[in-house]
């Protein structure tokens, strides 16, 4: 069981996201990269991305209002296992 869990964790950790953009951290490009790569790929790749003022930086199509809300829900499900 522990070996399987470790293997799954490592496989998720080693899945690469795009390289960090060289744009300023205040740019939409960098914020989209940062917020979507902080989430698991299955959430971040299709998530709506909001900036700190709740302005939409990128529309999403995975049904979640934003990556931040998806992560809270995902973590809540893990806690309740």
pLDDT band at 50 (very low <50, low <70, confident <90, very high): confident
Q: What is the mean pLDDT of residues 7-34?
A: 76
CB 50 within 8 A of CB 57: yes
Q: What is the mean pLDDT of residues 38-63?
A: 86
- The candidate with the shortest Cα–Cα distance to 69, out of 81, 54, 79, is 54
Give the Cα separation of 27 and 48 in Å (integer): 16
Does the pLDDT at position 70 exceed 80?
no
User: What is the per-residue pLDDT for 40?
Assistant: 85
On whether the pTM is more than 0.85, the answer is no
From the DSSP assignment, how many helices (H) and strands (E) are in the chain? 4, 2
The neighbour count for residue 76, using CB atoms within 10 Å, is 9
User: What is the per-residue pLDDT for 52?
Assistant: 85
Give the Cα separation of 77 and 9 in Å (integer): 17
**Which residues pair with residue 71 across a beta bridge?**
none
């Amino acid at each position: 069981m522990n070996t399987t869990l470790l293997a799954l964790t490592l496989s998720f950790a080693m899945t690469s996201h795009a390289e960090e953009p060289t744009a300023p951290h205040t740019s939409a490009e960098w914020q989209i990269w940062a917020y979507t790569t902080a989430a698991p790929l299955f959430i971040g790749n299709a998530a709506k991305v909001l900036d700190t003022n709740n302005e939409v930086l990128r529309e999403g199509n995975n049904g979640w209002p934003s990556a931040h809300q998806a992560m809270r829900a995902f973590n809540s499900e893990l806690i309740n296992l």
